[in-house]
Structure 1
Amino acid sequence: MASTSVSSGHFRVAGKEFPKINWLKSPNLRSTYFLLFFVILTSATNGYDSSMVNGLLSLDQFAEYMNHPSGTTKGLFSGIMFLGSLVALPITPYIADGLGRRWGICIGAFIMILAVVVQSVSFNVQMFIAARFFLGFGVSIAHAAAPLLITELCHPQHRAIFTTIYNTTWYLGSIVAAWLTYGTSTIPSQWAWRIPSIFQALPPLLQITCVWFVPESPRWYISKGKPEIALAVLAKVHAEGNADDEVVQLEFEEVKDTLAIEKQAEQTGWLELFKTRGNRHRLLILVSAGMFSQWSGNGLVSYYISGVLDSIGITDSDMQLKINGVLNIWNCIVATSMCFFVDKLGRRPLFLVSTFGMLISFVIWTILSERFDATHVKSNGSAVVFMIFVYYTFYNIAWSGLLIGYSVEILPFSIRAKGMCYMFAMVDIGQFFNAFINPIALEKIQWRYYIVYCAWLAVELVFVYFFYIETKNTPLEEIAKHFDGDDALVGGNAATQKGRAIEVEIEGMRNASVAEERVGIVAKS
């Protein structure tokens, strides 16, 4: 396993330490990170949607227009979006790997815009549900490409922070939707719900307009046989245009050689994650991360807060919208703050503290819900609201940002896009389950349904303890060493024994090819 020890005030590339840089004082890096804001809007769009649906279900105007939907129909309003996302997953890696990360974002954004138009003009339940299916289809395509671009473009010093921040912007979208829905709730017409729906088109519109100003992934350029463009991107973004910078040269050689080794090994298929011990370990983490991020009880509030609050006596629509809005602001503050500790504290400690805290707070949440059901004492209901905030504090320590940040970094380039699909598939299945089953279960068995999550959180804690490993302070290509040891396909100055052997093989093939060309030239002459 590779060492993660790095001196304070330094970052590491290819086994060498370099002084940390201030990105605010580097014009190209500063402008790149500003432009990456338009890439992370994909996650914000996802957050906007969940909060908007939550808000719409609390609006009398929406309920009346949709003929007071049952619990099953309410579940479909949210759940069908995740089904659309799941259906799109098989094609997403071919778009991101074939056309590029930026094209993946734009294609997904375009589909989202069309879906929002249909959703906003819906005149019945069926039309609304169909629009949300295609909205999920578009989100899936953009969501599969955006984190890849971020993690492959960022400076190695900032990669972990920015990749982790990506998923926390879910809450930015959620905040806007929560308060916009609250603001339009006083409109005595169908515009109360149509305005929030129309506004959902803004993030994808901004992405289509601005994402082309973001440099494409240098790793993608290398994979397409364009190393000179990749070097130019690395130099511009990481060294203010200096292609001879030592960090840039080390990065370039490590990425170029590693991708050549991966290509020679031909490990690019969907089944690669099942073939080696290291890849099976990755698969366990990916599948569990997608599952745990949605099946930890958070889905009860994210997509059906009105039902949770109804069960503790808070039935006023205005109060429900306020609680939803304040909760999302708090979530955003906690989740974003924790992004700056992923390399200082490490991934594994954050996951363990987060999961243990969720377990304890959810047990207390369940007990208080039972007490309210038995006594109808208002203070017990208020205490449940407080525990919801405590629960989400722990959830956001790890499961918000690191869901993407940890998943994307543990995958080698050759299977990164496909590997993320396994994780996203579990997220979509979990979200569909939450959106469709939670309202029904809460309606039928009320607080007793929480006991299921208490038991499941205990299982999560044990799994995280035994299978989640530390990767902090490790360059992207070198993280493979944590999973594969000496069999890791890593090139450049940090090459493993297997990596060097394949490099020798590649060099031999290259020399043989050159010799054949020379013989051919001599024969022709």
Structure 2
Amino acid sequence: MPFVVGNVYVIAAVAVVGGALFGFDISSMSAIISTPAYLCYFNQGPLYLKTDGKCSGPTPNVQGGITASMPAGSWLGSLVSGYLSDWLGRKKSIQIGSVIWCVGSILVCASQGIGMLIVGRIVNGFAVGICSAQVPVYITEIAPPSKRGRLVGTQQWAITWGILIMFYISYGCSYINGTAAFRVPWGLQMLPAIFLFFAMLFLPESPRWLAKQDRWEEAVNVLALVHAKGDSNSPFVHKEMEEIREVVEFERANADVTYWELLKPDMINRTHIGVFTQIWSQLTGMNVMMYYITYIFTMAGLGSNVLLPSSIQFIINVVMTIPALLWVDRWGRRPTMLVGAFLMMTWLVVNAALLGHYSVKPYFKQFDSASESMSITGAPAKAVIACTYLFVASYAPTWGPVSWIYPPELYPLRVRGKAVALTTSANWIFNFALAYFVPPAFANIKWEVYVVFAVFCFCMFWHVYFLFPETSQKLLEEVEEIFDDTTPGSFKYLGTPAWKTKVDTKAVRFERGELDAEEKFAIHTQQEEAAAAAADTDKGADEK
């Protein structure tokens, strides 16, 4: 039998390298778009060449298209990943994503013009779409309830590390003369993908996917290895396997799952919640901060010294994600998202007010790009920079990790792969739209860009409060009960009112062996009744 890693932290640490690929892409663009080598190599002709000899690079619209090409590919990759994951398994899907990433990195590194650069970034995006959709599914299905949020949240932490590492690589390479200044970092992007492909060979497959394939013995072995140090007789392993078996046997009648099933009356609410979790995570404006931070800090008067101050926010992003990894399961998903939305809205409003009141139109040739359309100096400029850092510090422990943790917890096994693929595709289509929108937006509506994102944060706060239920520390099979609209006090098609749900520690206490026999019996009976009710509801819906 080949060696298989059983430590759940090691499994997560390897798998989330797929998330680091997204981080590498973000900062490989944000750190490079303001360098002379990039601006001159991809310069769009004499009309965009400054009289002082400096190149202004692509036009704002074209730069938006270059940046947005990666999330465009990710949108398609995330949708395809649902079928790929159900067919080949979670593990092989991630490995396929790593191979595609290497192909895209070769194309980007060898780019001979804007067209080839865009094609390479689309291929890279396709790989990121696969990995970003299926890494959370893989970890969600293999992690114990008490650690699920922490482990899935490491996806976001890996993204932040990818951003930070690649930014400093790109910054160091910016001192190289010629096109090597951007070709070297774009080529080095392949290294984590190569590591991911080979390291995944030593990780187990998802036990829930194995069960769907009738590979029951392997599923038991994986659960025992990961959750009980190899003890297949563990009560917790038996409990998990019983629930997985019940779900799989019922879902035999629904073997041919399509995306249309996610729009059925019993599934539409959680589909809308998962999709909007990813949409809102983009509409916070965080990735805009990441892609175009050099624009913002240049307008704040940092000039040629913009790269190092910009890197501070990437360090903040890494450090401030740690609290979520430690305590997000204890905090719960709802409070974390509510606090994050409120704080981000606050910093965006302050920045809008500062730029709206104190900024002026740049004088001729002050900045290299038309997107750098405002100039602010002195104390107000320092306040803009400080609020930008505070915005990142508010996003990092809240919407950053929770946007990856939350969607995979919402869905039953039979649709989880495709459902998370759909929700992740929503992330990427909005990432694409915003990446394309921001350069011309800064050029045309200026400080009002911050107002737009502040309004989004206001809306997401109330959306979460009224419609996003708490899923923390519940077994995946138990989350079904939240959406059961036949229970007392529930709403038609919605289930239990979101504001009445809370963190449930019973599953964790069971996992740790801390429940007495009476509590165990009560939980088991409750779960059987919930499963039976859900089965009757689904059967009735299918008959209709």
Same fold at TM > 0.5: yes
| 1:464-503 pair list within 5 angstroms | 464-484=464-484, 495-497=527-529, 499-500=531-532
Percent identity reads: 27
Match of 1:360 in 2: 346
TM-superposed CA distance for 1:175, in Å, is 0.3
Rate the CA distance shift 1:337–1:74 in 2: closer, same or farther, 3 A: same
TM-superposed CA distance for 1:243, in Å, is 0.8
TM-superposed CA distance for 1:90, in Å, is 3.3
Rate the CA distance shift 1:207–1:433 in 2: closer, same or farther, 3 A: same
Rate the CA distance shift 1:364–1:31 in 2: closer, same or farther, 3 A: same
The question of 1:289 aligning with 2:292 is answered: no
TM-superposed CA distance for 1:260, in Å, is 1.6
Query: Does the Cα contact within 8 Å between 1:88 and 1:141 map onto a contact in 2?
Result: yes
Match of 2:542 in 1: none
| 1:244-255 pair list within 5 angstroms | 244-255=233-244
Match of 1:97 in 2: 86
Rate the CA distance shift 1:129–1:267 in 2: closer, same or farther, 3 A: closer
Q: Which has the higher contact order (CA 8 A, sep 6+)?
A: 1
> C-alpha offsets along residues 413-466 of structure 1, whole Å, 9 cap, x if unaligned?
111111112211221111111111101110122112222222222111121111
TM-superposed CA distance for 1:28, in Å, is 8.7
> C-alpha offsets along residues 166-213 of structure 1, whole Å, 9 cap, x if unaligned?
223110000001111111111122111111101110111011111010
Match of 1:522 in 2: none
Q: Provide TM-score, normalisation by structure 1.
A: 0.86
| 1:341-420 pair list within 5 angstroms | 341-374=327-360, 376-420=376-420
| 1:22-171 pair list within 5 angstroms | 31-67=7-43, 68-171=57-160
Match of 1:258 in 2: 247
- Structure 2 counterpart of 1:444, one-letter code: N
The 1-side partners of 2:275 and 2:127 are apart by 22
2:294 pairs with 303, 306, 317, which one? 306
Rate the CA distance shift 1:493–1:225 in 2: closer, same or farther, 3 A: farther
Query: Does the Cα contact within 8 Å between 2:77 and 2:128 map onto a contact in 1?
Result: no
Deviates most, 305-314 or 45-54: 305-314
Query: Does the Cα contact within 8 Å between 1:75 and 1:437 map onto a contact in 2?
Result: yes
The 2-side partners of 1:402 and 1:188 are apart by 41
The 1-side partners of 2:534 and 2:448 are apart by 57
TM-superposed CA distance for 1:350, in Å, is 0.8
Match of 1:19 in 2: none
1:173 pairs with 158, 162, 171, which one? 162
TM-superposed CA distance for 1:232, in Å, is 1.0
- Structure 1 counterpart of 2:240, one-letter code: E
The 1-side partners of 2:406 and 2:425 are apart by 16
TM-superposed CA distance for 1:495, in Å, is 3.2
The 2-side partners of 1:52 and 1:75 are apart by 15
Query: Does the Cα contact within 8 Å between 1:82 and 1:432 map onto a contact in 2?
Result: yes
Q: CA RMSD in A?
A: 2.2
> C-alpha offsets along residues 344-371 of structure 1, whole Å, 9 cap, x if unaligned?
1111111111101111111011111223
Query: Does the Cα contact within 8 Å between 1:58 and 1:320 map onto a contact in 2?
Result: no
The 2-side partners of 1:471 and 1:111 are apart by 34
Where does structure 2 lack aligned partners over 5 or more consecutive residues? Answer: 44-56, 361-374, 488-494, 496-522, 537-544
Match of 1:340 in 2: 326
- Structure 1 counterpart of 2:219, one-letter code: A
- Structure 2 counterpart of 1:304, one-letter code: Y
The question of 1:233 aligning with 2:209 is answered: no
The question of 1:315 aligning with 2:303 is answered: yes
The 2-side partners of 1:339 and 1:261 are apart by 34
The 1-side partners of 2:90 and 2:351 are apart by 42
TM-superposed CA distance for 1:492, in Å, is 7.0
> C-alpha offsets along residues 360-399 of structure 1, whole Å, 9 cap, x if unaligned?
1110111112233149442111110100111112212321
Instruction: Give SS of 2:101's match.
Output: helix
The 2-side partners of 1:128 and 1:449 are apart by 27
The 1-side partners of 2:404 and 2:479 are apart by 15
- Structure 1 counterpart of 2:326, one-letter code: F
Query: Does the Cα contact within 8 Å between 1:36 and 1:214 map onto a contact in 2?
Result: no
> C-alpha offsets along residues 466-490 of structure 1, whole Å, 9 cap, x if unaligned?
11111222112111111226689xx
TM-superposed CA distance for 1:259, in Å, is 2.0
TM-superposed CA distance for 1:498, in Å, is 6.0
Instruction: Give SS of 2:10's match.
Output: helix
Instruction: Give SS of 1:56's match.
Output: coil
The 1-side partners of 2:228 and 2:428 are apart by 39
The 1-side partners of 2:524 and 2:455 are apart by 46
Match of 1:325 in 2: 311
Instruction: Give SS of 2:312's match.
Output: helix
Match of 1:280 in 2: 268
Instruction: Give SS of 1:476's match.
Output: coil
Rate the CA distance shift 1:501–1:30 in 2: closer, same or farther, 3 A: closer
- Structure 2 counterpart of 1:497, one-letter code: E
Query: Does the Cα contact within 8 Å between 1:236 and 1:242 map onto a contact in 2?
Result: yes
Where does structure 1 lack aligned partners over 5 or more consecutive residues? Answer: 1-26, 505-525
Q: Provide TM-score, normalisation by structure 2.
A: 0.83
- Structure 2 counterpart of 1:454, one-letter code: A
Query: Does the Cα contact within 8 Å between 2:355 and 2:376 map onto a contact in 1?
Result: no
Rate the CA distance shift 1:501–1:266 in 2: closer, same or farther, 3 A: farther
The 1-side partners of 2:485 and 2:534 are apart by 15
The 1-side partners of 2:41 and 2:110 are apart by 12
